Amino acid sequence: AIDHETDQNLQRVIRTEFATSTVLTIAHRLDTVLDADRILVFDQGRLAQCDAPAALIGAGAGIFYELCHEGGYLDKMVVPPQH
């Protein structure tokens, strides 16, 4: 395990050095993937959700939404209004 600051530095390097590449990140810390282009949420080995983080949160329900709610991340996300 690494501390939060080291994780943030590592994520910054990955985003910079692999900006034009497809990167698959498996994460236990939500802040590691909140700025990802797309989130895939698996539940019991099956794909349960797949969308941009803001869209998953904007839905107002679901596994990813609940994880963000429980972790206190909802206030950190900018979610476009639903039409």
Structural domain boundaries enclosing 65: 4-76
83 domain residue, yes or no: no
Q: Is residue 37 part of a domain?
A: yes
Q: Is the pLDDT of residue 28 over 90?
A: no
d(CA 80, CA 71): 20
Residue 47, classed as helix, strand or coil, is strand
**pLDDT (tens digit per residue) in 3-27:** 888 988 988 998 899 989 998 988 8
What was the pLDDT predicted at 79?
Answer: 60
Region 30-34 average pLDDT: 86
Give the total number of structural domains in the chain. 1
- Nearest Cα neighbor of 57 from 33, 36, 37, 73 is 73
Tens digit of pLDDT for each residue in 44-83? 999 999 999 999 999 999 999 999 999 888 887 766 555 5
Read off the tokens for 83. 């039409």
For residue 59, being part of any structural domain is answered with yes
